[in-house]
Amino acid sequence: MATLTVMIFTGAFAQDDEEKKKRNRSRGTYSNFKIDLGINNYLEDGESPGDNNELYSVRPWGSWYVGLNSIYDTHITGALHLEWGGGVSWYNFKFEDESVRLSEGPDAVVFSQDPDGLDYTKSKLTAAYVNVSAVPMLKFGAKNRPGHWFRWKGNNHDFEWKRKGGFRIGAGMYAGYRIASYTKYVVEEDGDKEKDKDRDGFFLNNLRYGARMQLGFRGLDLFFNYDLNELFSDNKGPELNAFSFGVVL
């Protein structure tokens, strides 16, 4: 009888302990590696520079935005989560006119057309940033642990594809610091391509900050970023606000 009582007590204790572990896991913080892949552009006074045929008009296709991020998912309560973390991102502004050249003048950035009449195939501005972000999320119907497409299996030292369900939506903020910037021009002459890179600051703002929105359903997640401050420093270039959108992998 005593043995049976001990077994029942031990089983109940183990069950309570397991339930406690499950509750702790559901309230925990999990890390994921995520990639933002999409398109970037900018607006001037809420309009596209292409509407006014500006030299700095950007070609949508080919102006890629890439972000490599280490993101933590913290379960707050109920459907409320907080996704926060940091990473590195790249703006690639591919100019509509391949003969456009960007240079740093004495007082401001200068956009001009190269007069040589060569066969230009690419002209773009690239800027890289290190960023931090915090995005409150509402996640409904997700039965799996927070994360994205896959997770690391510690026991087998391998990746495991995850099934994700439910709908999720959120909006938050991000901030970044510029760590590199350069222009790249490609000219084709006699069948050969010549590339020219110019690494400079181009009066770009060192800081960027903005609003981010995320939307997801099952295995698909989308993002939209909008910089609240301008791409160039005050009175050093056109008043442009950069934005990007795409998928989260």
User: Has residue 97 got a pLDDT over 50?
Assistant: yes
In a domain, residue 2? The reply is no
Distance CA 38, CA 113 (A): 28
Task: Give the pLDDT confidence score for residue 91 in this predicted structure.
Answer: 98
- How confident is residue 156, by pLDDT bands cut at 50, 70 and 90? very low
Which two structure tokens, joined as six digits, stand for 123? 């002209």
Task: Give the pLDDT confidence score for residue 107 in this predicted structure.
Answer: 94
pTM attached to this predicted model: 0.82
CB 204 within 8 A of CB 231: yes
In a domain, residue 212? The reply is yes
The residue-averaged pLDDT of 107-127 equals 91
Mean pLDDT of the chain: 86
Length of the chain measured in residues: 249
In a domain, residue 132? The reply is yes
CB 115 within 8 A of CB 121: no
The residue-averaged pLDDT of 10-24 equals 53
> In a 10 Å sphere around its CB, with 0-12 CB exposed, 13-18 middle and 19+ buried, how is residue 174 labelled?
buried
Task: Give the pLDDT confidence score for residue 13 in this predicted structure.
Answer: 46
Distance CA 27, CA 29 (A): 7
In a domain, residue 122? The reply is yes
Task: Give the pLDDT confidence score for residue 16 in this predicted structure.
Answer: 59
Residue 125: give the domain boundaries: 30-248
The residue-averaged pLDDT of 52-57 equals 96
Task: Give the pLDDT confidence score for residue 79 in this predicted structure.
Answer: 95
**Number of folded domains that form the chain:** 1
Task: Give the pLDDT confidence score for residue 233 in this predicted structure.
Answer: 98
In a domain, residue 220? The reply is yes
In a domain, residue 14? The reply is no
H-type alpha helices, the chain: 2-26
